[in-house]
Amino acid sequence: MSNNLIILPIIIPIISGLVMIIIRNHTRLHRIISILATVLIGLSAVLLLEQIRESGVQILYLGGWEAPFGITLVADMLSALLVFVTAIVTFCCLWYAFSSIGAERERHYFYPLSLFLIAGVNGSFLTGDIFNMFVCFEVMLVASYVLISLGGTKIQLRESIKYVLINMVSSFLFLIAIAYLYGMLGTLNLAHLSVRVAEAGQGGLMTAVAFLLLIVFSLKAALFLFFWLPGSYSAPPAAIAAMFGALLTKVGIYAIIRVFSLVFYHQLGTTHLVIGILAAVSMVLGAMGSVAYWNIKSIITYNVVVGVGFILAGFASFSEAGMTGSIYYLIHDMIAKALLFLLGGTIINITGTGKLKEMSGLIRLQPHLGWMFFIASLSVSGIPPLSGFIGKVFITEGTFQSGYFWLGAIGLLTSLMVLYSVMKVFMSAFWGYTDVKEVTENKSIRGLLMPIGVLTAITIGLGLGAEVIHEYVDLAVAGLLDPNIYIDAVLQDSLIGWGR
Amino acid sequence: MKKPNDIILKTVTNVAVVIILTFSINLFISGHHNPGGGFIGGLAFVAAIVLLFLVYGIEKVRKNIPLDFKVVAACGVLISVLTGTAGMIFGKPFLYQTFGFVEFPIFGKTELATAVLFDVGVALAVIGTTMTIIMSIGDDR
């Protein structure tokens, strides 16, 4: 049965973005529409979550053309959870943008572009077809190209050229990988691919294609191939950087998790070991970067890389505990990274500089900001009552269960380095004498603090109320560990389903 | 500067533009069963306007077609997405399409398909996007 609810998270942002383009000069309306759109996306995601919990994976055959022939959208627990968190993060980032992005950027389609970005992100989460995943990646990337260069400052233009080139190359490789897949297996529907790979066996050639896909997704997810990330993500304003840091890399992570749990799960010793090694390397390098730099933006962007490594370390273990941890940590990381970027942006907004050595004593001026930064720092490094903790425990447990002791150990070690790096920011920005000029004291940042407060509340709530979402995470993990749940749902009525 | 002697060019263009526009509509309509459709029809339509640009200059054409093509493109995509949602109202999947036969006085029995509405959107999107690109790279400012 087709469930039209699945298309809503994709078309709501598109429709509202288009309406905004038509009424270009009413930026106040733009704000209202964009907030409404994110709320609606969140609501549809909640409905979807409930339906999936009650009656399993939901499917939509666009235009009534059944899988594997038509375009299929699939919402399983993992996708729906990610769509929901995306809506929350976007809501907060857009709210933050109201008082920080500036009238000029608002007039130049900031809100429509953000919503198109979200359409691409949601599309990538919900598609059941690897070619459509490519298309949704492109939708997301084209919007991000514009967002990263919007405003046209020198650093933005320099970084956007690198960003565009890197993503062009990776999209090109993605297409090649898809062509190989289609040439060998004659289908691009993920469920159908899974069936065919299982039938034909995952030989050397197939594993080579898997690695090609891994390279593509690693470029997007900043797994080891993160050389482009610190530069690009520190160029745009905080609201945009927060959306990038919280969402774009996560789409790459989702793609890795989806493809390597549904299609290429037959050679755990090679593909997943390599994912584990890459995860370990990105954790170490990311942590070194975040410890070494004395600039807020660089520290936060390197922390994104550590998070990516950590999530995929849990996935690489391919055990129930590891996967559970990965999903918990993925959800936590989306919230926490958005929070960190927004906090960093606010600090820079107040002090006018990103250099830690030039700021001190902010706690006297902005006590709320200071404490929220403190909570965010603890959350990012996985201190118990907060949301990062539970994911960290499960991921460590999972890696130990699978015998990847080195991976778990590196994860724990880098957590300490992450803790040091964010505490470094806290101590130098908030402790010490207040030598910021009195003028800035009067600057109202209430509009900036409220979305940050919401995200902080969520990260506390996720930590204390981990039990609440446990049922959903468990269902998501069950779907990842048993691909047949996904396959049966997609191919239920079709000939392939009967023939099996 | 001496005014160029382009009387032949202008005369030919005046006729050719009408032919190109008619052909683009023909391409658009034939698209349901034969080669053609919104994308190609839209491109052919733009070709006619580009020809006018070349002959009469960008300012004159802009004065006579006072449309913001970004809005045209947005309307086009909006039409396409909304026709997709129309099926949802009747309990069918997104992008569902249907067709039927209607007797018209002059044309006789004619096939009407809802996919055409979707294609109208595609055509407008193509026209809007292409015109926006050409006008922004063609501007001297």
Residue A459, number of CB atoms within 10 A of its CB: 24
- Hey, what amino acid is at A200? A
**Structural domain that includes position B93:** 7-138
Q: Does residue B74 fall inside a structural domain?
A: yes
Please indicate if any CB of chain B lies within 8 Å of the CB of A7. Answer: yes
The radius of gyration of chain B's CA atoms, rounded to the nearest angstrom, is: 18
Torsion of CA B14, B19, B21, B23, to 10 degrees: -170
Residue A246 CA, distance from chain mean position: 5
Q: Does residue B1 fall inside a structural domain?
A: no
Mutate which: B95, B117, B119, vs A, most A CBs within 10 A = B95
CA distance A185 to A194: 10
Coil, strand or helix at A150: coil
Token pair 């390279």 is at which residue? A215
How many residues are there in chain B?
A: 141
Do residues A345 and A241 touch, judged by C-beta distance below 8 A?
Answer: yes
| pTM for the whole structure | 0.93
Query: Nearest Cβ partner of A64 from B77, B84, B92?
Result: B92
> Between chains, do B75 and A22 touch, taking CB under 8 Å as contact?
yes
Query: Which phi-psi region, left, alpha or beta, contains residue B16 (left: φ > 0; alpha: ψ -120 to 50)?
Result: alpha
Residue of A nearest to B69 (CA): A22
> Between chains, do A19 and B95 touch, taking CB under 8 Å as contact?
no
Find the DSSP H helices in A56-101.
Answer: 77-98
Residues of A in contact with B84 (CB under 8 A): 11
Residues of B in contact with A21 (CB under 8 A): 70-71, 74
CA distance A14 to A119: 6
Coil, strand or helix at A129: strand
CA distance B33 to B35: 7
Residue of A nearest to B90 (CA): A4
- Hey, what amino acid is at A44? S
Residue A43 CA, distance from chain mean position: 19
Give B 94-123 residues with CB within 8 A of chain A: 94-97
Residue A435, classified by CB atoms within 10 Å of its CB into exposed (0-12), middle (13-18) or buried (19+), is exposed
DSSP A356: G
Type and span of the H or E element at B62 = helix B58-64
CA distance A410 to A285: 11
- Hey, what amino acid is at A494? S
Q: What is the pLDDT of residue A443?
A: 60
Task: Give me the number of domains chain B comprises.
Answer: 1
CA distances from A408 to A115, A232, A367 (A): 37, 29, 36
Percentages (nearest 5) of helix, strand, coil residues in chain B: 65, 10, 25
Backbone angles phi, psi at A265, to 5 degrees: -115, 15
Give the count of alpha carbons within 13 A of A179, CB side only: 6
Query: Nearest Cβ partner of B71 from A11, A21, A64?
Result: A21
Q: Does residue B2 fall inside a structural domain?
A: no
Query: Nearest Cβ partner of A7 from B77, B82, B94?
Result: B94
Coil, strand or helix at A283: helix
Q: What is the pLDDT of residue A497?
A: 45
Type and span of the H or E element at A74 = strand A72-75
DSSP A470: H
Q: Does residue B119 fall inside a structural domain?
A: yes
Tens digit of pLDDT per residue, chain A (500 long)?
Answer: 678 899 999 999 999 999 999 998 888 999 999 999 999 999 999 999 999 999 889 999 988 888 788 889 999 999 999 999 999 999 999 999 998 888 888 888 999 999 999 999 999 999 999 999 999 999 999 999 999 998 888 999 999 999 999 999 999 999 999 999 999 999 999 999 999 999 988 888 999 999 999 999 999 999 988 889 988 888 899 999 999 999 999 999 999 999 999 999 998 888 999 999 999 999 999 999 999 999 999 999 999 999 999 999 999 999 999 999 999 999 999 999 999 999 999 988 888 888 888 888 888 888 888 999 999 999 998 888 888 899 999 999 999 999 899 999 999 999 999 999 999 999 888 887 776 555 455 566 788 889 999 999 999 999 888 888 889 999 999 999 999 999 988 887 665 544 44
What digits encode the pLDDT tens for the residues B95-113? 888 888 888 887 777 778 8
> Between chains, do A7 and B71 touch, taking CB under 8 Å as contact?
no
Give B 69-98 residues with CB within 8 A of chain A: 70-71, 74-75, 77-78, 81-82, 84-85, 87-88, 92-97
> Which pair of structure tokens corresponds to residue A477?
């993990």
